[in-house]
Amino acid sequence: MAGFEPVIGLEVHTELNSESKVFCDDPNIFGAEPNTQVSPISLGLPGTLPVLNKVSFEKALRTAVALHCDITRRTSFDRKHYYYPDLPKNYQISQDYDPLGRNGFVDLHLKNGQQKKIRINNIH
């Protein structure tokens, strides 16, 4: 494989500490009984529209700032369509085209005195 440089990327998911879900005000309580934290919005029923949870957005913004990201002046959300039995809406709301933050990094200080910069492609 001469002439090729291996590049490894990770997609990391985190769970924001919030009392409600990201796109509706349904409670987000770990360990609650099944089917007790749902509404027509979280089920994606016809005629419902998601509304962004302000606290979740602010926490994501703080994360992007902490990771030295360039913060976008305009962000948008996209639907990624999936056909899974456990996803009744058949789509997931994401930020594929206009993520909240781009081009961030984390500086690592290694025991041997070296420093490494880990690039962050985007936060969404």
pLDDT category at 70 given cuts 50, 70, 90 is very high
Parent domain of 99:
52-123
Q: Examine the pLDDT at 8 and tell me if it is beyond 80.
A: yes
Count the domains in the chain.
1
User: Is residue 100 in some structural domain?
Assistant: yes
User: Is residue 64 in some structural domain?
Assistant: yes
Q: What is the pLDDT of residue 1?
A: 64
Calpha distance 115→85 (Å, rounded): 45
User: Is residue 47 in some structural domain?
Assistant: no
Query: pLDDT by residue (tens digit) across 88-116?
Result: 788 888 888 999 999 999 999 999 999 99
User: Is residue 18 in some structural domain?
Assistant: no
User: Is residue 21 in some structural domain?
Assistant: no
User: Is residue 84 in some structural domain?
Assistant: yes
pTM as predicted: 0.81
State the Cα angle at 103 between 100 and 104, rounded to 5°: 85
